Structure 1
Amino acid sequence: MSTATVLARAARAEWSRIWSVRSSWVLVVCLGLFVVGVGALAGVDAARNPGSVPPGSTAWDGARFTAMFALFGTVALAVMTSTADHGTGAIVPTLQWTPRRGVLLTARSAVIALSVTVIGIAFVTGASIAITLIASEVALPVGQGLRSMGDLVVVLGCGALLGIGLGLATRSTAAALVLAIALLLVLPLLVANLPFDWATTVSSRLPGSGALFLIFGEGPRDDMTVASARLTLVAWAAGATALGGWRLLRSDAGH
């Protein structure tokens, strides 16, 4: 059997494993209601107080705040789905079905990352649409939307791979979630506020700073660019995936 055939079969199995359980759908529905709901609240505020909307602002600008919720929600989903069968012991039959661990790593990473990225993009887009439907004076330009969603694809995709890598490395949902939140939120803010010159440089190299820069256009250093933020996120995602893949490939599944 060719590698491509085995990979396709493993991808179908991963898709079924993730979306055949109720918890995945519950998390997605809750995340969608929250993200789109926050967008709707922003639209209500803009409709009631049109003077509070800065000149030239669009619905995409208003939905930027919801992108952070989408990021943490999709990372949580990525962590949960990547560690679920380790927590239940189902990893043993998973590896019996797909004994080529490299194929399993590729299929799991691709299916989870693509799924949660599409989900996050859909919800943030929904929040933007909600804003412009409620506050009709707030425009929804397609060009800006494509640029904003392009950056968000990088943020969500890399965030998902970071969560998957941490999940495979720790084999613990709780531990991986704590590490992901620390890297994406706590450490960038904490380190940036230390009274040392090197602290802002270290903070700018953390994945959370790259995500914040691509979403809001601001970071701990004035010399941060879109390219440097993307490179930071890609490097962390690749490193986490390599670490998680190393443990999957090299250590016993039961330990």
Structure 2
Amino acid sequence: MSSGTLPQTGRQTTGHPPTGGGLPGAIASEWTKLWSVRSIWWCLLASMLLMAATAGQLAIYVANGNTDDDPTNDRGVLAVGRIAVDAVELTQFAVIALALLAITSEYGTGTIRTTLQWIPSRARLLLAKSTVVAGVTFGIGVLLGGLGAAVAAPVLGEWGRFDLGGTVRDSLGLAGYLALISLCTLGLGAALRSAVGTLVTVFLLLAIVPTTLRLPDIGALNAIADALPGSAGLHFLRGETDAYPPAVGLVIVVCWAVAALLAGLVVLRRRDA
């Protein structure tokens, strides 16, 4: 009677569980999706052009501002890595746009529904996106730090000081700051689900609100401005000790990134795609 038996095509032939899923599979998927968005490459190119142009301009200002010809007076000598740090205040917005697109592009095209079908765990999805965004923006930050220093060095000339260890530290600090700000942007993008709304919110937090709060020069308002992520990040990068130690500035940026990601996770869990 074996001729009447149907073949068992659906039976597993091995005891090994399926591969390619879980967090590693989610990260691999997010990595592929990120680099498949054409705008990501434009953001990368824009960040490099902005860094080169801004670093060159700042270096020109420094060189032209030094009129003391006394060789024993080195008050105007500046580390080339510091130019890259100062240039990131503008350059960061191109990197932020990259992080923004990692989440809001899916809401804009509706592909977030497919993503959530493949990765139903909201926490895993956000963790995978965070891993990819943090890794990519950290790498870009290192590249931008080196580029800014390389552009500034010949422009500064005798007014520039190149120290390999210091330049590497500046580049790594810059990369860490950009990664954290990008995570903050990713979290806000998951919560707001709008590219325009997220970009406006981030721009306000990093540029407009701190500047506005400092205009009256009131202690309480200055303290609020110092607690915002952009001010705290630049405080950390520049090694300033006026309001608080540089390490505290780094902690503040970390707190903002964590808070934004938690807000994004709450919205992802409570609302449908």
Coarse TM-score class (shorter-chain normalised): 0.7 to 0.9
State how far apart, in whole Å, the 2-side matches of 1:40 and 1:189 are: 24
Structure 2 contact 144–171 (Cα < 8 Å) conserved:
no
Distance 1:8 1:63, change over 3 A: same
In structure 1, the gaps of 5 or more residues are none
Q: What does 1:11-90 align with in structure 2 at a 5 Å threshold?
A: 11-42=27-58, 51=67, 54-90=75-111
Partner amino acid, structure 2, of 1:101:
R
Deviation at 1:198, TM superposition (A): 1.8
More off after superposition, 146-155 vs 123-132: 146-155
For residues 183-225 of structure 1, what are the alpha-carbon distances to aligned partners after superposition, in whole Å with 9 as ceiling and x for unaligned? 1111112123346432122222111210221233458xx3321
Distance 1:134 1:190, change over 3 A: closer
Structure 2 contact 206–230 (Cα < 8 Å) conserved:
yes
Q: Which has the larger radius of gyration?
A: 2
1:192 aligns with 2:214: yes
1:159 aligns with 2:181: yes
Deviation at 1:147, TM superposition (A): 2.6
Partner amino acid, structure 1, of 2:46:
C
Deviation at 1:150, TM superposition (A): 3.5
Structure 2 contact 149–167 (Cα < 8 Å) conserved:
no
More off after superposition, 227-236 vs 135-144: 135-144
Match of 2:227 among 193, 201, 205: 205
For residues 142-182 of structure 1, what are the alpha-carbon distances to aligned partners after superposition, in whole Å with 9 as ceiling and x for unaligned? 12113322332332121011100110000000001111111
Deviation at 1:69, TM superposition (A): 2.3
Residue equivalent to 2:193: 171
Structure 1 contact 154–230 (Cα < 8 Å) conserved:
no
The CA RMSD measured in Å over matched residues stands at 2.5
Structure 1 contact 67–215 (Cα < 8 Å) conserved:
no
Structure 1 contact 70–120 (Cα < 8 Å) conserved:
no
Residue equivalent to 2:121: 100
Deviation at 1:13, TM superposition (A): 1.0
Distance 1:118 1:99, change over 3 A: same
State how far apart, in whole Å, the 1-side matches of 2:204 and 2:252 are: 16
Residue equivalent to 2:247: 227
Structure 2 contact 240–246 (Cα < 8 Å) conserved:
no
Structure 1 contact 213–229 (Cα < 8 Å) conserved:
yes
Distance 1:48 1:224, change over 3 A: closer
TM value normalised by structure 2: 0.82
Identity of aligned residues (%): 29
Q: How many residues align?
A: 251
In structure 2, the gaps of 5 or more residues are 1-16, 69-73
More off after superposition, 38-47 vs 95-104: 38-47
Partner amino acid, structure 2, of 1:16:
T
